[in-house]
Amino acid sequence: MSKISKLFNKPDLFIKDFLKNKGIEPDILGSKFNISFLKQQKQFISKDGVNLIVSNIRLFKKTVHLLHTGEGLTHGPSHLDLWVEHFAKSGEDFAILIRNKALFDWAIQKYSYLDIVYAKNPSDVENILNKLPFIKAIYYFSNTGNLIHTLRYNRYKHIFLGHGDSEKAGSAHKFFRVYDEIWVAGQAHIDRFKNTDFNTDHIKFVKIGRPNLKNTLVSEYTLSKNIRKRLVYLPTWEGVYEENNYSSAHLAPVMLSEIFNKLNYDIDIKLHPVLGSRDKTLLNLPLTISEIFFKNQDNVTLHSKEVPVEKIIKNADFFICDISAVVSECISTLAPIFLFMPIDREIITSNSNMQYSEYTYVFSNIEELLDLLDEVIVKGNDRLVKARYKALDYLLTIDATKNDEFYHCLSEISKDSTLLNNSREKVIQ
């Protein structure tokens, strides 16, 4: 068989022969070959188990953007799901560095077509970074201890993307000073940092809007055409500490059944993906809700944690939320938001310059909520319509969201990288 014939008819065999002729063992690059995607099928094992897996990444490729996640299976999937799709849509070359083996296994099942690598230890991270010589920027979704293994490199631009936008205490604290840039949805997040007691002058804040909300963003509020009013309930989880517990989940069974029985609304429910992480009693909440509404399954829907919020919030008549990033997502529809504000515990928040009470209907118990629903939804006295539009731009930056500012920012970094590499090549020549 000629070389040309072998190339077109048996490409795997052609590549193996090519490598052998060059004195390279094919098994070094793996036993399964494909011209468009050569994978290194190696796991590197230490005394404490697998610490490096390069079976799902093309090393030495001109990859400019690197996504870093130090989370495990509890938080990691939701963080990746929020951003991976938009990096893929950008058309930019990127790879994902995962520090947790279980999350890596999950990711290569869901995103098998992407470049994903698992590196456990600092030396493994260094090894991978040396094999990705064109990396210009590293992006972070959350503040985990192991991100110090990439932050220590001065040659990269370190950018915090986050996994939402809210007034939670974790939205603005001193750890954020490790980043070169913080890409925010809107001015609200910038103001949270301005209102703290530490200096952030060295940090560059970049407004990118919320790319996942581009298709739900509306220009004006209009009453929905739902025959039955539709409520969407989106509670947050209980937090790592009680002072960060903003959740109304403990009220949910009674609160939702009261609303359903008195007002006969359709209800869509999506519980937070990590609900019950600290308070294990909340792990029973899905079962409790399913039992309560067992006879009303046509009108009450409990969505799985894999369903994106943006798929649920469309065409809702109103929302019930906690202090969390979902407030920013719900505001994209301009429908009324009823916000739970705990008063039975001392909570800590990071305040912007626009208080929740200015654009949401705040309640602290079920009785207050029912009274507000009667006034705003039943009687139609919605006094916060204009305030919600103001909050929409403040939280999400309408123009940045609509005009794909996130993709433009990625492109600019890629262009800077190309210019830098071209200048280096001219110096070498």
Name the residue ranges covered by the structural domains of the chain: 1-38, 42-212, 230-402
- Distance from C-alpha of 338 to C-alpha of 326, rounded to nearest angstrom: 12
pLDDT at 67: 98
pTM of the full structure? 0.82
pLDDT at 49: 66
- Sole residue written with tokens 């719900």: 330
- Distance from C-alpha of 406 to C-alpha of 401, rounded to nearest angstrom: 8
- Whether 42-212 and 230-402 share one fold: the answer is yes
Domain 230-402 CATH assignment equals 3.40.640.10: no
Burial state string for 167-182 with b = 16 or more CB within 10 A and e = fewer than 16: bbbbbbeeebeebbbb
User: Are 131 and 112 a contacting pair, CB within 8 Å?
Assistant: no
Q: Which amino acid is at 50?
A: V
CATH architecture classification, 42-212: 3-Layer(aba) Sandwich (3.40)
Q: Mean pLDDT per 10-residue run, the chain (429 residues)?
A: 48 52 45 40 63 93 96 93 96 97 96 96 96 97 94 96 82 87 95 88 94 91 86 94 90 97 96 93 95 94 92 94 94 97 83 93 97 96 96 96 97 77 43
pLDDT at 21: 56
